[in-house]
Structure 1
Protein backbone atom coordinates (compact mmCIF):
# COMPACT_ATOMS: atom_id res chain seq x y z
CA UNK A 1 0.00 0.00 0.00
CA UNK A 2 1.22 3.49 -0.80
CA UNK A 3 2.37 5.79 2.00
CA UNK A 4 -0.61 7.68 3.39
CA UNK A 5 -0.52 11.15 4.95
CA UNK A 6 -1.31 11.92 8.56
CA UNK A 7 -4.99 11.56 9.44
CA UNK A 8 -6.18 14.62 11.36
CA UNK A 9 -8.87 13.72 13.89
CA UNK A 10 -11.84 16.08 14.13
CA UNK A 11 -12.86 15.69 17.75
CA UNK A 12 -12.71 17.48 21.10
CA UNK A 13 -13.10 14.16 22.94
CA UNK A 14 -9.61 13.30 24.17
CA UNK A 15 -10.49 9.67 24.98
CA UNK A 16 -11.87 9.10 21.47
CA UNK A 17 -8.90 10.88 19.89
CA UNK A 18 -6.36 8.84 21.87
CA UNK A 19 -8.07 5.56 20.99
CA UNK A 20 -8.23 6.46 17.30
CA UNK A 21 -4.53 7.36 17.35
CA UNK A 22 -3.80 4.00 19.00
CA UNK A 23 -5.87 2.13 16.40
CA UNK A 24 -4.17 3.95 13.52
CA UNK A 25 -0.74 3.24 15.02
CA UNK A 26 -1.62 -0.44 15.42
CA UNK A 27 -2.28 -0.56 11.67
CA UNK A 28 1.00 1.20 10.90
CA UNK A 29 -0.56 4.61 10.20
CA UNK A 30 -0.18 8.04 11.77
CA UNK A 31 -2.96 10.19 13.18
CA UNK A 32 -3.11 13.21 15.46
CA UNK A 33 -5.60 15.67 16.88
CA UNK A 34 -6.67 18.71 14.89
CA UNK A 35 -5.70 20.65 18.01
CA UNK A 36 -2.06 19.99 17.14
CA UNK A 37 -2.64 22.33 14.17
CA UNK A 38 -5.07 24.98 15.42
CA UNK A 39 -6.66 26.12 18.69
CA UNK A 40 -9.68 24.15 19.92
CA UNK A 41 -12.93 25.00 18.18
CA UNK A 42 -16.54 24.57 19.22
CA UNK A 43 -18.23 22.10 16.90
CA UNK A 44 -21.79 22.64 15.64
CA UNK A 45 -24.45 20.70 17.50
CA UNK A 46 -24.80 17.10 16.38
CA UNK A 47 -27.97 15.64 14.93
CA UNK A 48 -29.82 12.67 16.39
CA UNK A 49 -30.54 10.83 13.16
CA UNK A 50 -27.50 8.90 11.91
CA UNK A 51 -23.87 8.26 12.78
CA UNK A 52 -23.00 9.22 9.21
CA UNK A 53 -24.55 12.68 9.42
CA UNK A 54 -22.68 13.43 12.63
CA UNK A 55 -19.32 12.14 11.40
CA UNK A 56 -19.63 14.00 8.09
CA UNK A 57 -20.56 17.22 9.87
CA UNK A 58 -17.49 17.08 12.10
CA UNK A 59 -15.12 16.19 9.27
CA UNK A 60 -16.39 18.95 6.99
CA UNK A 61 -16.24 21.49 9.83
CA UNK A 62 -12.54 20.93 10.55
CA UNK A 63 -11.68 20.49 6.86
CA UNK A 64 -12.72 24.12 6.35
CA UNK A 65 -9.98 25.22 8.74
CA UNK A 66 -7.36 22.69 7.58
CA UNK A 67 -7.92 22.41 3.82
CA UNK A 68 -4.48 20.91 3.14
CA UNK A 69 -4.95 18.00 5.56
CA UNK A 70 -6.73 14.66 5.46
CA UNK A 71 -9.43 15.20 8.08
CA UNK A 72 -11.25 12.25 9.64
CA UNK A 73 -14.16 12.17 12.05
CA UNK A 74 -15.75 9.35 14.02
CA UNK A 75 -19.28 9.10 15.32
CA UNK A 76 -19.89 6.08 17.46
CA UNK A 77 -22.36 4.57 19.85
CA UNK A 78 -23.50 1.59 21.87
CA UNK A 79 -26.55 -0.41 20.81
CA UNK A 80 -28.13 -2.68 23.41
CA UNK A 81 -30.45 -5.47 22.33
CA UNK A 82 -32.37 -5.03 25.60
CA UNK A 83 -33.05 -1.34 24.93
CA UNK A 84 -33.31 -0.79 21.16
CA UNK A 85 -34.71 2.73 21.58
CA UNK A 86 -31.92 3.93 23.88
CA UNK A 87 -28.31 5.03 23.29
CA UNK A 88 -27.16 4.43 19.68
CA UNK A 89 -26.51 7.75 17.91
CA UNK A 90 -27.20 9.66 21.13
CA UNK A 91 -25.02 7.47 23.39
CA UNK A 92 -22.59 10.21 24.42
CA UNK A 93 -25.37 12.69 25.14
CA UNK A 94 -27.45 10.23 27.16
CA UNK A 95 -24.46 9.19 29.26
CA UNK A 96 -23.01 12.70 29.66
CA UNK A 97 -24.44 13.20 33.19
CA UNK A 98 -22.16 10.40 34.45
CA UNK A 99 -19.30 11.95 36.43
CA UNK A 100 -16.64 9.35 35.69
CA UNK A 101 -15.96 6.10 33.85
CA UNK A 102 -16.97 3.87 36.74
CA UNK A 103 -20.30 5.64 37.11
CA UNK A 104 -20.83 5.32 33.35
CA UNK A 105 -20.21 1.58 33.42
CA UNK A 106 -22.41 1.18 36.49
CA UNK A 107 -25.24 2.78 34.53
CA UNK A 108 -24.78 0.37 31.61
CA UNK A 109 -24.65 -2.60 33.98
CA UNK A 110 -27.88 -1.42 35.59
CA UNK A 111 -29.59 -0.97 32.22
CA UNK A 112 -29.02 -4.62 31.24
CA UNK A 113 -29.61 -6.18 34.66
CA UNK A 114 -31.93 -9.17 34.24
CA UNK A 115 -32.17 -8.43 30.49
CA UNK A 116 -30.34 -9.43 27.32
CA UNK A 117 -26.68 -8.51 27.58
CA UNK A 118 -26.04 -8.55 23.82
CA UNK A 119 -24.35 -5.35 22.67
CA UNK A 120 -23.02 -3.79 19.48
CA UNK A 121 -20.55 -0.91 19.29
CA UNK A 122 -20.62 1.07 16.05
CA UNK A 123 -17.97 3.38 14.59
CA UNK A 124 -18.79 5.47 11.52
CA UNK A 125 -15.85 7.25 9.91
CA UNK A 126 -15.85 10.01 7.33
CA UNK A 127 -12.59 11.09 5.71
CA UNK A 128 -12.24 14.31 3.73
CA UNK A 129 -8.99 14.29 1.76
CA UNK A 130 -7.00 17.39 0.83
CA UNK A 131 -8.51 17.28 -2.66
CA UNK A 132 -12.01 17.12 -1.13
CA UNK A 133 -12.77 13.49 -1.88
CA UNK A 134 -14.99 11.87 0.75
CA UNK A 135 -14.60 8.31 1.99
CA UNK A 136 -17.06 6.56 4.32
CA UNK A 137 -16.25 3.55 6.48
CA UNK A 138 -17.93 1.63 9.27
CA UNK A 139 -16.83 -0.89 11.87
CA UNK A 140 -18.72 -2.91 14.47
CA UNK A 141 -17.85 -4.71 17.68
CA UNK A 142 -20.27 -7.46 18.69
CA UNK A 143 -20.40 -9.11 22.07
CA UNK A 144 -22.02 -8.96 25.47
CA UNK A 145 -21.97 -6.79 28.57
CA UNK A 146 -20.09 -8.40 31.46
CA UNK A 147 -21.68 -8.69 34.90
CA UNK A 148 -19.02 -6.42 36.42
CA UNK A 149 -15.94 -4.42 35.49
CA UNK A 150 -12.88 -6.60 34.82
CA UNK A 151 -9.37 -5.98 33.55
CA UNK A 152 -6.65 -3.35 33.62
CA UNK A 153 -5.74 -2.88 29.93
CA UNK A 154 -8.21 -0.17 29.07
CA UNK A 155 -10.78 2.23 30.45
CA UNK A 156 -14.47 2.91 30.18
CA UNK A 157 -16.41 0.35 28.10
CA UNK A 158 -13.31 -1.85 27.67
CA UNK A 159 -13.91 -2.97 31.26
CA UNK A 160 -17.39 -4.35 30.55
CA UNK A 161 -17.37 -5.37 26.87
CA UNK A 162 -16.88 -9.09 26.21
CA UNK A 163 -16.15 -9.94 22.54
CA UNK A 164 -18.50 -12.42 20.87
CA UNK A 165 -17.40 -15.99 21.56
CA UNK A 166 -15.02 -14.99 24.37
CA UNK A 167 -15.17 -14.94 28.16
CA UNK A 168 -12.83 -12.04 28.95
CA UNK A 169 -13.49 -8.33 28.67
CA UNK A 170 -11.49 -6.21 26.26
CA UNK A 171 -9.57 -4.82 29.22
CA UNK A 172 -8.43 -8.35 30.12
CA UNK A 173 -6.82 -8.86 26.72
CA UNK A 174 -3.33 -7.75 25.59
CA UNK A 175 -3.26 -5.05 22.90
CA UNK A 176 -2.35 -7.52 20.15
CA UNK A 177 -5.67 -9.31 20.80
CA UNK A 178 -7.78 -6.35 21.90
CA UNK A 179 -7.07 -3.74 19.25
CA UNK A 180 -8.16 -5.81 16.21
CA UNK A 181 -11.54 -6.36 17.90
CA UNK A 182 -12.36 -2.68 18.44
CA UNK A 183 -15.08 -1.11 16.32
CA UNK A 184 -12.77 1.81 15.51
CA UNK A 185 -9.94 -0.46 14.34
CA UNK A 186 -12.37 -2.31 12.09
CA UNK A 187 -13.68 0.97 10.68
CA UNK A 188 -10.14 2.15 9.94
CA UNK A 189 -9.32 -1.15 8.21
CA UNK A 190 -12.47 -0.74 6.09
CA UNK A 191 -11.40 2.79 5.21
CA UNK A 192 -7.86 1.79 4.25
CA UNK A 193 -9.17 -0.97 2.01
CA UNK A 194 -11.08 1.70 0.06
CA UNK A 195 -8.02 3.91 -0.39
CA UNK A 196 -6.42 1.17 -2.48
CA UNK A 197 -2.84 0.40 -3.33
Structure 2
Protein backbone atom coordinates (compact mmCIF):
# COMPACT_ATOMS: atom_id res chain seq x y z
CA UNK A 1 0.00 0.00 0.00
CA UNK A 2 1.26 3.46 -0.90
CA UNK A 3 2.05 5.68 2.07
CA UNK A 4 1.42 9.30 1.23
CA UNK A 5 2.88 12.53 2.55
CA UNK A 6 0.53 15.43 3.28
CA UNK A 7 1.77 18.71 1.82
CA UNK A 8 0.87 21.23 4.49
CA UNK A 9 2.59 23.33 7.14
CA UNK A 10 -0.73 23.74 8.99
CA UNK A 11 -0.88 21.19 11.82
CA UNK A 12 -4.68 21.38 12.20
CA UNK A 13 -5.28 20.87 8.48
CA UNK A 14 -2.74 18.03 8.40
CA UNK A 15 -4.40 16.19 11.30
CA UNK A 16 -7.88 16.67 9.83
CA UNK A 17 -6.84 15.52 6.37
CA UNK A 18 -4.93 12.56 7.81
CA UNK A 19 -8.07 11.43 9.66
CA UNK A 20 -10.24 11.86 6.55
CA UNK A 21 -7.79 9.93 4.38
CA UNK A 22 -7.61 7.15 6.99
CA UNK A 23 -11.40 6.90 6.86
CA UNK A 24 -11.04 6.27 3.12
CA UNK A 25 -8.31 3.66 3.66
CA UNK A 26 -5.46 5.93 2.53
CA UNK A 27 -2.42 5.99 4.81
CA UNK A 28 -0.81 9.42 5.05
CA UNK A 29 1.36 11.45 7.41
CA UNK A 30 2.45 15.06 7.51
CA UNK A 31 5.57 15.49 5.44
CA UNK A 32 7.31 17.35 8.28
CA UNK A 33 7.37 14.13 10.31
CA UNK A 34 10.05 12.94 7.89
CA UNK A 35 11.51 16.04 6.23
CA UNK A 36 12.34 19.64 7.14
CA UNK A 37 9.62 22.18 6.48
CA UNK A 38 9.69 23.85 3.08
CA UNK A 39 8.19 27.02 1.64
CA UNK A 40 5.47 26.16 -0.86
CA UNK A 41 4.81 28.17 -4.03
CA UNK A 42 2.47 31.11 -3.56
CA UNK A 43 -1.17 30.15 -3.99
CA UNK A 44 -3.28 31.64 -6.74
CA UNK A 45 -6.66 33.30 -6.30
CA UNK A 46 -8.75 31.57 -8.98
CA UNK A 47 -8.78 27.81 -8.46
CA UNK A 48 -8.74 25.41 -5.51
CA UNK A 49 -7.77 22.58 -7.86
CA UNK A 50 -4.78 24.39 -9.34
CA UNK A 51 -3.53 25.45 -5.90
CA UNK A 52 -3.73 21.87 -4.61
CA UNK A 53 -2.07 20.45 -7.72
CA UNK A 54 0.81 22.95 -7.68
CA UNK A 55 1.51 22.22 -4.02
CA UNK A 56 1.33 18.42 -4.42
CA UNK A 57 3.51 18.31 -7.53
CA UNK A 58 6.05 20.71 -6.02
CA UNK A 59 6.59 18.51 -2.97
CA UNK A 60 6.42 15.22 -4.90
CA UNK A 61 9.11 16.42 -7.29
CA UNK A 62 11.22 17.82 -4.45
CA UNK A 63 11.11 14.71 -2.26
CA UNK A 64 10.50 12.03 -4.92
CA UNK A 65 7.64 10.71 -2.79
CA UNK A 66 3.87 10.35 -3.27
CA UNK A 67 2.15 13.47 -1.95
CA UNK A 68 -1.42 14.59 -1.28
CA UNK A 69 -2.23 18.29 -0.99
CA UNK A 70 -5.47 20.13 -0.47
CA UNK A 71 -6.84 23.60 -0.97
CA UNK A 72 -9.99 24.48 0.93
CA UNK A 73 -12.24 27.43 1.50
CA UNK A 74 -15.40 28.72 3.11
CA UNK A 75 -18.00 30.23 0.79
CA UNK A 76 -20.78 32.40 2.17
CA UNK A 77 -23.98 33.08 0.23
CA UNK A 78 -24.22 36.58 1.69
CA UNK A 79 -20.62 37.46 0.74
CA UNK A 80 -20.09 36.07 -2.72
CA UNK A 81 -17.08 38.29 -3.45
CA UNK A 82 -15.15 37.34 -0.32
CA UNK A 83 -13.42 34.26 1.06
CA UNK A 84 -13.62 31.12 -1.13
CA UNK A 85 -10.20 30.35 -2.63
CA UNK A 86 -8.64 33.17 -0.61
CA UNK A 87 -10.34 32.32 2.71
CA UNK A 88 -7.27 32.02 4.92
CA UNK A 89 -5.57 35.02 3.34
CA UNK A 90 -8.68 37.18 3.73
CA UNK A 91 -9.22 36.21 7.37
CA UNK A 92 -5.54 36.48 8.28
CA UNK A 93 -5.77 40.22 7.68
CA UNK A 94 -8.23 40.56 10.57
CA UNK A 95 -7.19 41.07 14.19
CA UNK A 96 -9.95 38.63 15.18
CA UNK A 97 -9.76 34.84 15.25
CA UNK A 98 -10.91 33.23 12.00
CA UNK A 99 -14.30 32.22 13.41
CA UNK A 100 -14.86 35.61 15.02
CA UNK A 101 -13.95 37.29 11.72
CA UNK A 102 -16.53 35.20 9.85
CA UNK A 103 -19.22 35.91 12.45
CA UNK A 104 -18.41 39.62 12.33
CA UNK A 105 -18.88 39.65 8.55
CA UNK A 106 -22.34 38.13 8.92
CA UNK A 107 -23.12 40.29 11.95
CA UNK A 108 -26.82 39.88 12.80
CA UNK A 109 -28.06 38.31 9.57
CA UNK A 110 -30.99 35.92 10.18
CA UNK A 111 -30.64 32.17 9.74
CA UNK A 112 -32.06 32.13 6.22
CA UNK A 113 -29.27 34.49 5.08
CA UNK A 114 -26.38 32.57 6.65
CA UNK A 115 -26.05 29.87 4.00
CA UNK A 116 -22.53 28.54 3.51
CA UNK A 117 -20.47 25.76 2.07
CA UNK A 118 -17.01 24.39 2.75
CA UNK A 119 -15.10 23.18 -0.29
CA UNK A 120 -11.97 21.06 -0.66
CA UNK A 121 -9.98 19.96 -3.68
CA UNK A 122 -7.35 17.25 -3.22
CA UNK A 123 -4.43 16.51 -5.51
CA UNK A 124 -2.49 13.23 -5.33
CA UNK A 125 0.88 13.49 -7.07
CA UNK A 126 3.47 10.77 -7.63
CA UNK A 127 6.67 10.82 -9.64
CA UNK A 128 6.02 9.48 -13.16
CA UNK A 129 2.24 9.42 -12.69
CA UNK A 130 -0.51 11.79 -13.72
CA UNK A 131 -1.83 13.81 -10.80
CA UNK A 132 -5.26 12.70 -9.59
CA UNK A 133 -7.75 15.36 -8.49
CA UNK A 134 -10.87 15.02 -6.34
CA UNK A 135 -13.22 17.39 -4.56
CA UNK A 136 -15.80 17.51 -1.79
CA UNK A 137 -18.38 20.04 -0.62
CA UNK A 138 -20.53 20.27 2.49
CA UNK A 139 -23.43 22.73 2.54
CA UNK A 140 -25.11 24.26 5.55
CA UNK A 141 -25.24 27.49 7.50
CA UNK A 142 -23.15 29.56 9.87
CA UNK A 143 -24.57 29.51 13.40
CA UNK A 144 -24.79 32.59 15.61
CA UNK A 145 -22.12 31.53 18.12
CA UNK A 146 -19.42 28.81 18.13
CA UNK A 147 -20.57 25.45 19.49
CA UNK A 148 -18.86 22.12 20.14
CA UNK A 149 -15.54 20.73 21.34
CA UNK A 150 -15.13 17.64 19.13
CA UNK A 151 -13.07 19.52 16.51
CA UNK A 152 -11.86 23.03 15.77
CA UNK A 153 -11.73 25.63 13.06
CA UNK A 154 -14.85 26.41 11.08
CA UNK A 155 -16.42 23.18 12.41
CA UNK A 156 -17.45 25.17 15.50
CA UNK A 157 -19.61 27.57 13.50
CA UNK A 158 -20.75 25.36 10.60
CA UNK A 159 -23.99 23.38 10.84
CA UNK A 160 -24.48 21.01 7.88
CA UNK A 161 -27.84 20.91 6.14
CA UNK A 162 -30.14 18.40 7.79
CA UNK A 163 -28.10 18.19 10.99
CA UNK A 164 -29.09 19.43 14.44
CA UNK A 165 -25.62 20.53 15.53
CA UNK A 166 -22.38 21.96 14.26
CA UNK A 167 -19.64 19.71 12.95
CA UNK A 168 -17.70 20.33 16.16
CA UNK A 169 -20.60 18.89 18.18
CA UNK A 170 -20.36 15.55 16.36
CA UNK A 171 -18.05 12.63 17.15
CA UNK A 172 -15.45 11.93 14.48
CA UNK A 173 -17.28 8.82 13.26
CA UNK A 174 -20.26 10.98 12.26
CA UNK A 175 -18.43 14.19 11.40
CA UNK A 176 -15.67 13.02 9.07
CA UNK A 177 -17.90 11.45 6.36
CA UNK A 178 -19.96 14.66 6.26
CA UNK A 179 -17.05 17.06 5.87
CA UNK A 180 -15.69 18.47 2.64
CA UNK A 181 -12.33 16.75 3.22
CA UNK A 182 -13.99 13.47 4.15
CA UNK A 183 -16.01 13.44 0.93
CA UNK A 184 -13.01 14.43 -1.18
CA UNK A 185 -10.93 11.65 0.42
CA UNK A 186 -13.54 9.02 -0.44
CA UNK A 187 -13.68 10.19 -4.05
CA UNK A 188 -9.88 10.17 -4.21
CA UNK A 189 -9.78 6.60 -2.93
CA UNK A 190 -12.13 5.48 -5.71
CA UNK A 191 -10.03 7.22 -8.35
CA UNK A 192 -6.83 5.64 -7.04
CA UNK A 193 -8.46 2.21 -7.06
CA UNK A 194 -9.63 2.73 -10.64
CA UNK A 195 -6.11 3.69 -11.69
CA UNK A 196 -4.65 0.61 -10.01
CA UNK A 197 -7.17 -1.61 -11.82
CA UNK A 198 -6.06 -0.42 -15.24
What's the counterpart of residue 130 of structure 2? 133
What's the counterpart of residue 111 of structure 1? 105
Matched, 1:75 2:71: yes
**Aligned pairs, number:** 191
CA shift for structure 1 position 99: 5.9
Distance 1:96 1:54 in 2: 18
Contact 2:106–2:114, Cα closer than 8 Å, also in 1: yes
What's the counterpart of residue 92 of structure 2? 96
CA shift for structure 1 position 36: 2.2
Q: Name the Cα RMSD after superposition.
A: 1.5
Matched, 1:190 2:184: no
CA shift for structure 1 position 177: 0.8
Distance 2:95 2:67 in 1: 30
Distance 1:15 1:96 in 2: 16
Runs of 5+ consecutive residues of structure 2 not aligned to the other structure = none
What's the counterpart of residue 38 of structure 1? 35
TM-score (norm 2): 0.91
Matched, 1:144 2:144: no
What's the counterpart of residue 56 of structure 1? 53
Distance 1:7 1:119 in 2: 31
Q: 1:27-52 CA deviation, whole Å, 9 max, x = no partner?
A: 33311111123211111111111111
Distance 1:155 1:36 in 2: 22
| 4+ residue segments displaced more than 4 Å | none
Distance 1:59 1:29 in 2: 16
Q: 1:138-193 CA deviation, whole Å, 9 max, x = no partner?
A: 00011110111111101121111101011201111111111111100100101111
Runs of 5+ consecutive residues of structure 1 not aligned to the other structure = none
CA shift for structure 1 position 129: 2.1
Distance 1:27 1:192 in 2: 6
Q: 1:111-145 CA deviation, whole Å, 9 max, x = no partner?
A: 12316111010000111124322101000011110
